[in-house]
Amino acid sequence: MNSIARSKRETGVSGVRSEVVKDLNRLMAEETEAFLRYFQMRFRLRGKGRHAAEKFFEDALKETLEHAEALAKQIRSLGHVPSLHIHLSLDGDAMRPEEALAEALDVEQQALDAYKDFLPRVTGDEVLEDFIRKQIEIEAAHVQEIRDDLQMRSPLTLVEKPKQSS
């Protein structure tokens, strides 16, 4: 098949397929960026609870890399070569585990939102729609897990009930 015919087949009449691939590449880059952020945050951790947080980030490193790889495989299955564009500079001081987890929560929430925003673009494509729905479930679980962890770490404040007048 010549390149013009292949291009027409890949993009379709409206160019939707190439836009989907472009979005998949963006999602892959975001997962890869999350991997790099988690890698760096793991070494910034200091203070009480550091070891447990390091374990969280080790697991998160594996998961984000798996997500990026799964996206790359989807791109390749569509007949394209994954393209990675990341513009990132990471530095910073030591951080408490709660600060790092709060930042991780932001990263995971952004990923969840990105997958949710992308879902309507692939509705009707059985393979991609199923893949994106699974990613949404995974990211939602990550968000909830971090929220639960942060809630457990925050000190409880007891509030006295106001006395009712008799």
CB 41 within 8 A of CB 93: no
The mean pLDDT of 56-72, rounded to a whole number, is 96
CB 90 within 8 A of CB 36: yes
Tell me how many degrees the CA angle 48-64-132 measures, rounded to the nearest 5: 130
pLDDT band at 18 (very low <50, low <70, confident <90, very high): confident
Q: Where are the domains of the chain?
A: 15-151
Residue 113 pLDDT > 70: yes
* Other residues' Cβ atoms within 10 Å of the Cβ of residue 87: 6
84-106 pLDDT tens trace:
999 988 888 999 999 999 999 99
| Confidence at residue 92, expressed as pLDDT on a 0 to 100 scale | 86
Percent of the chain with pLDDT over 70: 83
What's phi and psi for 100, nearest 5 deg?
Answer: -65, -40
pLDDT band at 163 (very low <50, low <70, confident <90, very high): low
Overall CATH class of domain 15-151: mainly alpha
- How far apart CA 130 and CA 119 sit, in angstroms, is 9
Strand, helix or coil for residue 95: strand
Question: Global pTM?
Answer: 0.80
